[in-house]
Amino acid sequence: MRRCRAPEESVLDHSAHHHHTSTPPLPRRSLLWRQLAAVAVLLLAALACCLLQVHSGEAVVITRFGDPVRVLLQPGLAWRLPPPLESAIPVDLRLRTTSSGLQDVGTRDGLRVIMQSYVAWQVPADATHITRFLRAVQNQPEEASRQIATFAGSAMETGSSSFALSSLVNTDASQLRISQLEQRLRQQLAPQLLTSYGVRVVDVGLERLTLPAVTLDATVARMRAERDTIAAERTASGNEEAAAIRANAARDARIRQADASVAAAQIEAGSRVEAARIYAEAYQRAPELYKTLRSLDTLNGVVNNSTQLVLRTDAAPFRALVDGPPGLTAPKSTKSR
């Protein structure tokens, strides 16, 4: 049975059909611009994925499906294929320093020393070594530092065994051989790290050097023995020099004394000769006066304050006191009682 439409439904269908047929279509030019804009956005996105920047102090390794294909070293913009075809891995080329930590090592004379060294290293700007570093430590500087610290500890153990303790710890700077030890450590580490990890060693040095308690006591005892030996040697040398000085002084004194004795004997002989000449002249001029003066000189040499003599007064040399000078008439003396 046919159903008749209601008047309201017929009016709504007519208005809807009229609205659909009255909307105008979009222009073709506007659609074209939209398509061009979408293509430009896609191109810019692809360009952004293909462009990369290489910073100063680093290198960029381009890998294709995980395999390194080339290394970019020059700073600036560079090209690559968009991911996942190619990936960029930055590698730091700056200088780094790694400490070995405190290591208990032995010396040539069987003593123990606690050492701590540092290693200054960097990845050289070379594609071969950069690739080797990337494959060895997966571009992880912390892992490279741990490996380098291990190598440095082994190098200190073998290097210190060639040096005595006195070459490492000494108050005399001329006997220290620390620079030779550092040079040996560098010579041992440089080829190992370059071959194994692609790392170039710039410098190796001792950061700390100390002694355990047992080694410190042995060192103090050895230094005390050395000082005692040096003191004994210097004392013996001083005694030898003092003996030589005393011997030379005694010899010089004897020589000077002999020279003085000779000079005194010569002077005395000359004075005696001169006195004899004077006495001879006096005797020639006044013989009697000469005898009198000689008698008085003899008395002066014989008699002093403590001398007691009993002699005849008319005997020489007292006769000069009784008779007086020759040529004079002696007064008449009274007869002594």
CATH at residue 106 = 3.30.479.30
User: Does 273 reside within a domain?
Assistant: no
Q: In total, how many domains does the chain have? A: 2
User: Which pTM value belongs to this model?
Assistant: 0.53
User: Can you give the pLDDT of all 337 residues of the chain as single tens digits?
Assistant: 344 444 444 444 444 444 444 444 556 777 777 777 777 776 666 666 777 888 888 999 988 887 888 899 888 888 777 777 888 889 999 999 999 999 989 999 888 889 999 999 999 999 999 999 999 998 899 999 999 999 999 999 999 999 998 898 888 889 999 999 999 999 999 999 999 999 999 999 999 988 887 666 776 777 788 888 899 999 999 999 999 999 999 999 999 999 898 899 899 888 888 888 887 887 787 777 777 777 777 777 777 777 776 766 666 666 666 666 655 554 544 444 3
Instruction: Say whether both 69 and 154 belong to one domain.
Output: no
286 Ramachandran zone, left/alpha/beta (phi>0; psi -120 to 50): beta
Per-residue 3-state assignment (H helix, E strand, C coil) for 246-305:
HHHHHHHHHHHHHHHHHHHHHHHHHHHHHHHHHHHHHHHHCHHHHHHHHHHHHHHHHCCC
Instruction: Say whether both 154 and 88 belong to one domain.
Output: no
Among residues 92, 118, 136, which one ends one of the domains? Answer: 92
Instruction: Say whether both 104 and 202 belong to one domain.
Output: yes
User: Does 29 reside within a domain?
Assistant: no
User: Does 53 reside within a domain?
Assistant: yes
User: Does 4 reside within a domain?
Assistant: no
Domain extent, residue 69, equals: 38-92
Instruction: Say whether both 104 and 182 belong to one domain.
Output: yes
Among residues 71, 92, 113, which one ends one of the domains? Answer: 92
